[in-house]
Structure 1
Amino acid sequence: MLRPGTEAGRLVGRAAELERLGVLLDRARGGRGGSLVVEGTPGVGKSALLRALGAPDLLVLSTTGVESEVGLPFAGLAELVAPVIAHGDGLPEAQRAALRAALALDAPAGAERVLVLQALVALLETAASGRALLLLVDDVQWLDASSQEAIAFLARRAERLPLALVAVRSLRGEPYAPWPEVPRLRLSDLAREDALALARAGGLAPAVAEALVDAVGGNPLALVEAPAELSAAQRDGIAALPDPLPTGERLRRAYAARVAALPAPTQAALLLAAASSDGDTATLLRALGGAADAGRGADDADRGAGAVDRGADDADRGAGAVDRGAGAVDRGAGAVDRGADDADRGAGAVTIFEPAEDAGLIALAATRVRFSHPLVRAAVYHAATPGRRRAAHRALAAAGTPQTRAWHLAAAATAPDEQLAAALETLGHEARERGATATAIAVLERAAQLSPEPAQAAARTIAAAGTANVASQPARARALIEALLPTLDDPLTRADAQFVRGAAMLQSGHPQDAYALLEDEAARIAVRDPTRAALLLTQASVAVMSSGPVQRLAELAAQAQTLAPEWVAHAPAVLRAEALSGLGDHRRAKALLAEQARALHDADPVGPGHEVVSIAALSMIWMEQYDDAQRLLVRLVETARAKGAVAALALPLSVLATVHIRRAEFDVAGDLAGEAVALSDAGLEGWTRALALTAAAFVEAHRGEADACRAHAATVLELSAGLGMTSTAATGEQALGMLALGLGETETAIVHLERARAHTERFGSRDPSFLYTSGDLVDVYVRTGRDDDARVIAAELAAGAELTGGAWAAAATARSRGLLDGDERIDAHLAVALAAHARIDSPFELARTQLCFGERLRRARRRADARTLLEAAHASFTAFGTTGWAQRAAAELAATGLPRDGDATAEPTTADALTARERAVCELVAGGATNREAATALFLSPRTVEHHLRQAYRKLGVRSRTELAVRWREVG
């Protein structure tokens, strides 16, 4: 029998597709693989394309989606990696434990889904150390949601690994979201000539082949399978053809007719295989023993009797009983000897399936039954009556593992059942603990449907919706809650539901609607339950945090803080402090954070609400409390690493990168931001992802890495527009403006900086230190001759400096005045600027000030004075790796009469050339401290200490710790 789409073993009409897949395999052989999703309607030849991929030199791993196992977490993934799971023993303990728990090989370990996904990549990297991998995933749309998420994650990273991943998706009219960043190949029907060749290869007479192609087009499966409904005379063109001929919609019926021709025991066995999660022959045989009598009871149910066999009821209730009379497969046909051993039972299973294998409907492996095409499985399952399908699930529940039991019983249930609903709820929470959040949603939803008591049903629905938010499926969360709300009478349950709904609205890009909803709900229950009201108002504050206005954030957070009990009061207090710092009231903001110092220190760095600590640190950065912020963040990062809580890492890494950016430690900042972006790629959304991307974009903007900066900033702006995040829109534009300024693209810089300023005004921030936009705008306006515009911004900057008392704002104000005032005022403004810089560890901005005043002095014809400042700026920019800025300083130096490659490039040789942080590190290391000891003393990481030492070595002209100790005695 021909396979769909083949002509005498050759795939017909797919040369271009096979060539593209061949390139993919060659790339995997070369160590840099790739991925491809093949899409097409049922029967178009997607599975045949997979089977045609001959790659004996590759290690092939495969899995096929099964419609009936969508509720089993990571079932498809488990099948895919089963041949290489032993390689997981060499993984780090946290990854190994998370992966084994997710695949139900060990007990749930509370692992986050991001850790499971990273463990999957590590497993396959290890497995591919000997030879490249080929991963084949058929019918991905029927994989359980958690497996789909994991395979999509892997597909996005396939280019970095020695593997080729080919996934097949059947397009059946349902909407779906394509996997981002994964190439897609739409498989169309065969061209007419190819379709005719395929039809004729099946033995049809030429005229019959023409008629068939006219009827079904170029669908390969229809061309191969539809003739099975024709008689021999019709296929030969002797007898009249039926009208109409079998077409695509009738494929399932064609399969059902072929199944109906099989012996009754084989039909029953096929139904069990279609309903099972894995087609395991041993499980199927055990289930066959319980299916025969259950099937007879199901007939009564189908005829409207409404009764299910009493033995099956026991199974439904979780008693684990199989029909007392079900000790044989089918007493009327093909009984299996009850005294046979396991091998005999396996042989019996094979025997009962052999007629289906002979008919080309299945393939029998050593331990599994596989259908020849997913449509066969669908046809078998849906052609059965509902009663027989329920009976099959009951039999599988009795025969299967504890992990599959509850799911099969749920599929068989016809009435509410609290015992079963509770079991499903447990299964759902376990799935979430395994990191299979997408699966947990479906299981918790079914638990709610089977709950007899409305209160329990509501609680389980809210849990399902909350899990949907965790899985970044806010639309599903809203749909669940909005369907539930009309049924709720209890105001507290309604408040819990609205809390989840508001979080979903925020996640889906409606922050203003979210905060209005949450505020209204808080007002309804404030008297009855102040704690719930405080939590609602805190969530409302979060909704306003990234969209503004900041003034409203301050008001909401203050309300929440008033209502909150002590154990949660730190969260609204921190949000209020952030708002106050944005409004420029640094004095009150600092006082608030000081009051919460103990709570922030004691907060669980990886527990619920851990984000609050990072938000506190972000406020400290704006208020120039860099050391305090770094202490908090280093603790968060180190604890998250130690506990393997990778999802809790992205936010503190991003904020910590911002500290290092402000300190001009761009190497360290780049490493931290890169790690945060990689983590956010694993499924983080919204504000956290935008913050990671902006941290990376700012590092790249300073370094002049244009392509990377623009790509990251573009994603930030897209996210911000979709989610209504005004603050991150400002940061994305600021990064692009900073990039253009460093590259000397002044007009482009003006466009982006003006947009950043507009977003900041909408956000409501009055703190000049929020993004440094004002100082950059004055610089670029002066460079383009727009002095009047520069004076307007300089006045705003001066007002902000007076409001906040910030050191950078004072320095930038003096710098701006130095650019705009007369020559006689330059020295006075320079003195003020340098005094302000002495109060803050921000060496890049100091170099900016030196450059601006150097340019100003040169224009005032004070070349010698200009040269001193420009040399210092050039040395700093060179040390920072900010090439564009170094070139700008070099050009100014050349204009003073010094060649670009002359004395200006000499490294400084005094301790004065070091930053404050570099001096502190040198002091400790020169005194004999190790890098780790210095890191502990300064609340830094060892890697950061290494960075500072590298910079200091270059500036001081030394190459070792010994040379540093000697040199430090001279210059320190």
Structure 2
Amino acid sequence: TAAAGSLLRELLAEADLTPERRGRAARAHSGLAANAAYDAPSTEVLADIIADPRLPIADRGEVRLTLGLRVAVQGGDRDGFALIEQAADELIAERPARAARALVALAMNERDGEGAAAWERMAKAAAALENEPDEEVAAAHRATRLTFQAREGDPGLWPELDRLPRDASSPELVRQTTRALFNVGDIAMETGHDQRAGRLLTESRALARQAAVSYLECYSRIALLRLDGLAGRWQGLEERFEALGTEYPDVAMARVERAMLFGRMAASRGRLAVARAEFESAARYGERESQVTTAIRAAAGLGAVELVERGAEAAAVVLGPAVAILRQAGAWARGGELLPIGVEVARGTGDEGAARHLTEEAAEALDGVDAPAAHAGLHQARGVLLEGTDPGGAIESFRRARDAWRDIGRPYEVAKSEERLARVLADRDPQTAAERLAAAEATYNTLGAASDAARCQHVRRDLGLGRMASPGRRGYGEALSPRERQVAELVGQGVSNQDIAQVLFLSPRTVEHHVASVLRKLGVGRKDVAEALAESES
């Protein structure tokens, strides 16, 4: 599209070009750009085109609509909605169906209080389509309506997806079907329908490739990688995200999902400085984006890091605005990550009333809503709320959270619920508590979450639950022991001895001993540990 744009610039520079030909050429390029993956040069071409005062108003509206969609949706910058709103004004007199398309796009913005006007804009778009029926714009309207149903956790959504046209002769109808499948699949992942999400995203990727809609193919690939992360398939995931980011360097979604994943994995491994930087990067994107979920997820991750490093008061500064966004947008079906950490931080600041209110508010909002992850998060939040006052209620809540996460298929969340359950069970049933803690630790070790696994060992010692069953201590000779391997992996990731001590709940002197042993056994210096570990595993 950038090459075509250069040719278009030359064509539009011709002084004797008729308005009709000028508009037709601009619309043709706009159609090309609409389906292409986001890149800065093509976006600059569109901006240059609408700056041409000789372009007919309605044609300028067409190009401005495409530019706005690229900026707001693919570029992840809600400033693009100002362009879309202006395009609607330019289109309404001559092309009401295209104005309806702009109104449908505007309805997708749920920030700055705009979500309250979404259904009103959809109604105005439907009215415009009555004046000028258009099958393709009607398909966009339907795709957006399905997106809203998914956001709200509407149980009636699923049968409607089966009726979407997969083999229509119109490329735009197929594109809108692909968009609907992607949007619903992506939101299904947010709400905890992970198996359905996988099927929908796989289908949207295949349809996008078939219809040559490269940006939707890219989006589907990104979402499927995220789904792998949620399912605990962490091996090689960082490299796959890096490769996708190289392939699509200007696509904002690739950058933000990479940051979220890297932040999550870094936190689980005790690399809190790295996790903080990644979540802060995602949060900056969330401030610009038109959807609220990125801001909510980034705040949940960053708030957890703040809680560990700086305490509840610092975490509350991060989480307060995110909870406000959650409430304003009514995004309770997508708030499963935020609820538990929100309640924990409120309790940590001594505000039991706020913790209770958030839990009760979420429970009321989620009544009858089809959002397994939000309900699992609510169970976890209730467990946190009840830990100090009603151990029996906390135990039941953590069990429900664990079972819900297990049904969804997210082992990391299962392990976190198991760990919290073990803490509450320790006084009542030490044997079961030890079993639950061992299960959590085993999952963390499988995932490579060294810091989480070490915390389980620390909790076991603090609660007097005894050691995990093992065949007995043995010597490892010149091979790395399990603890030395944990230390070696952190050294290979560039973690300092002081931070390793914090991550693994060890004394600095013990860490120094382990590092010296690792370097001796591997026969390398500190900067070469990662390479030596990789060679030993190949």
TM-score of the aligned structures, taking structure 1 as reference length: 0.41
Distance in 2 (alpha carbons) for counterparts of 1:857 and 1:739: 26
Contact 1:662 1:844 survives alignment (8 Å):
yes
Q: Does 1:889 align with 2:456?
A: yes
Contact 2:65 2:83 survives alignment (8 Å):
no
Distance in 2 (alpha carbons) for counterparts of 1:869 and 1:610: 43
Amino acid at match of 1:856: V
Q: When you count strand as a share of all residues, which structure comes out higher?
A: 1
Q: Does 1:872 align with 2:418?
A: no
- Cα offset, 1:661, TM superposition: 3.1
Contact 2:248 2:254 survives alignment (8 Å):
yes
Q: Does 1:775 align with 2:344?
A: no
User: Are residues 815 and 647 of structure 1, via their aligned partners in 2, closer, same or farther at CA, if it must alter by over 3 Å?
Assistant: closer
Distance in 2 (alpha carbons) for counterparts of 1:818 and 1:603: 50
User: Are residues 714 and 814 of structure 1, via their aligned partners in 2, closer, same or farther at CA, if it must alter by over 3 Å?
Assistant: closer
Distance in 2 (alpha carbons) for counterparts of 1:801 and 1:517: 36
Q: Does 1:442 align with 2:9?
A: no
Contact 1:702 1:738 survives alignment (8 Å):
no
Q: Does 1:454 align with 2:454?
A: no
Distance in 2 (alpha carbons) for counterparts of 1:472 and 1:657: 24
Q: Deviations over 1:145-172 (max 9, x none)?
A: xxxxxxxxxxxxxxxxxxxxxxxxxxxx
1:503-542 residue pairs with structure 2 within 5 A? 503=69, 506=72, 509-521=78-90, 523-525=92-94, 529-530=96-97, 532-542=98-108
- Cα offset, 1:545, TM superposition: 5.9
User: Are residues 794 and 905 of structure 1, via their aligned partners in 2, closer, same or farther at CA, if it must alter by over 3 Å?
Assistant: farther
Tell me what 2:322 maps to. 756
- Cα offset, 1:447, TM superposition: 0.8
1:476-515 residue pairs with structure 2 within 5 A? 477-484=46-53, 488=56, 492-500=58-66, 502-503=68-69, 506=72, 509-515=78-84
Contact 2:103 2:122 survives alignment (8 Å):
yes
Tell me what 1:552 maps to. 117
- Cα offset, 1:456, TM superposition: 0.7
Tell me what 1:737 maps to. 303
SS at match of 2:192: coil
Q: Deviations over 1:472-500 (max 9, x none)?
A: 25465335314337x636xx535424424
Distance in 1 (alpha carbons) for counterparts of 2:123 and 2:167: 17
Tell me what 2:371 maps to. 806
Contact 1:570 1:596 survives alignment (8 Å):
no
Contact 2:395 2:421 survives alignment (8 Å):
no
Amino acid at match of 2:343: V
Contact 2:188 2:194 survives alignment (8 Å):
yes
Contact 1:818 1:825 survives alignment (8 Å):
yes
Tell me what 1:31 maps to. none
Distance in 1 (alpha carbons) for counterparts of 2:177 and 2:396: 48
Q: When you count helix as a share of all residues, which structure comes out higher?
A: 2
Distance in 1 (alpha carbons) for counterparts of 2:142 and 2:425: 47
SS at match of 2:5: helix
Distance in 1 (alpha carbons) for counterparts of 2:48 and 2:364: 48
- Cα offset, 1:612, TM superposition: 4.5
Q: Deviations over 1:620-652 (max 9, x none)?
A: 223332222212323455677899997655311
Q: 1:857 aligns with which of 422, 425, 432?
A: 425
Q: Deviations over 1:329-369 (max 9, x none)?
A: xxxxxxxxxxxxxxxxxxxxxxxxxxxxxxxxxxxxxxxxx
Amino acid at match of 2:5: I
Contact 1:815 1:830 survives alignment (8 Å):
yes
Tell me what 1:956 maps to. none
Amino acid at match of 1:624: G
User: Are residues 835 and 610 of structure 1, via their aligned partners in 2, closer, same or farther at CA, if it must alter by over 3 Å?
Assistant: closer
Distance in 1 (alpha carbons) for counterparts of 2:31 and 2:113: 25
Distance in 2 (alpha carbons) for counterparts of 1:460 and 1:644: 21
Amino acid at match of 2:344: D
Contact 1:478 1:501 survives alignment (8 Å):
yes
SS at match of 2:232: coil
Contact 1:673 1:692 survives alignment (8 Å):
yes
Contact 2:433 2:465 survives alignment (8 Å):
no
Tell me what 1:627 maps to. 195
Size of the aligned set, in residue pairs, is 456
- Cα offset, 1:655, TM superposition: 1.0
- Cα offset, 1:618, TM superposition: 0.7
User: Are residues 512 and 502 of structure 1, via their aligned partners in 2, closer, same or farther at CA, if it must alter by over 3 Å?
Assistant: closer
Contact 1:697 1:710 survives alignment (8 Å):
yes
User: Are residues 458 and 574 of structure 1, via their aligned partners in 2, closer, same or farther at CA, if it must alter by over 3 Å?
Assistant: closer
User: Are residues 826 and 737 of structure 1, via their aligned partners in 2, closer, same or farther at CA, if it must alter by over 3 Å?
Assistant: closer
Contact 1:475 1:504 survives alignment (8 Å):
no
Amino acid at match of 2:142: A
- Cα offset, 1:824, TM superposition: 4.3
Q: Deviations over 1:662-694 (max 9, x none)?
A: 32333365454333333332x33x455434543
SS at match of 2:409: coil
User: Are residues 556 and 619 of structure 1, via their aligned partners in 2, closer, same or farther at CA, if it must alter by over 3 Å?
Assistant: farther
User: Are residues 710 and 827 of structure 1, via their aligned partners in 2, closer, same or farther at CA, if it must alter by over 3 Å?
Assistant: closer
- Cα offset, 1:501, TM superposition: 5.2
Amino acid at match of 2:441: H
SS at match of 1:493: helix
Contact 1:704 1:883 survives alignment (8 Å):
yes
Tell me what 1:381 maps to. none
Q: 1:574 aligns with which of 143, 146, 166?
A: 143
1:216-255 residue pairs with structure 2 within 5 A? none
User: Are residues 888 and 624 of structure 1, via their aligned partners in 2, closer, same or farther at CA, if it must alter by over 3 Å?
Assistant: same
User: Are residues 753 and 515 of structure 1, via their aligned partners in 2, closer, same or farther at CA, if it must alter by over 3 Å?
Assistant: same
User: Are residues 608 and 482 of structure 1, via their aligned partners in 2, closer, same or farther at CA, if it must alter by over 3 Å?
Assistant: farther
Contact 1:737 1:753 survives alignment (8 Å):
yes
Alignment root-mean-square deviation, CA:
4.1
Contact 1:855 1:866 survives alignment (8 Å):
yes
Distance in 2 (alpha carbons) for counterparts of 1:834 and 1:721: 32
Moved more, 442-451 or 826-835: 826-835
User: Which runs of 5 or more residues in structure 2 are unaligned?
Assistant: 473-538
Tell me what 1:344 maps to. none
Amino acid at match of 1:886: A
Amino acid at match of 2:415: A
Q: 1:789 aligns with which of 329, 348, 354?
A: 354
Tell me what 1:657 maps to. 225
Tell me what 1:151 maps to. none
Distance in 2 (alpha carbons) for counterparts of 1:668 and 1:743: 28
User: Which runs of 5 or more residues in structure 1 are unaligned?
Assistant: 1-431, 907-972
Contact 2:437 2:460 survives alignment (8 Å):
yes
User: Are residues 650 and 765 of structure 1, via their aligned partners in 2, closer, same or farther at CA, if it must alter by over 3 Å?
Assistant: farther
Q: Deviations over 1:740-760 (max 9, x none)?
A: 557796555443333432343
Q: Deviations over 1:286-321 (max 9, x none)?
A: xxxxxxxxxxxxxxxxxxxxxxxxxxxxxxxxxxxx
Contact 2:399 2:421 survives alignment (8 Å):
no
Structure having greater relative contact order (Cα 8 Å, sep ≥ 6): 2
Same amino acid, percent of matched pairs: 19
TM-score of the aligned structures, taking structure 2 as reference length: 0.70
Tell me what 1:960 maps to. none
Contact 1:703 1:884 survives alignment (8 Å):
yes
Amino acid at match of 2:421: F
Q: Does 1:676 align with 2:241?
A: no
Contact 2:336 2:373 survives alignment (8 Å):
no
Distance in 2 (alpha carbons) for counterparts of 1:743 and 1:880: 23
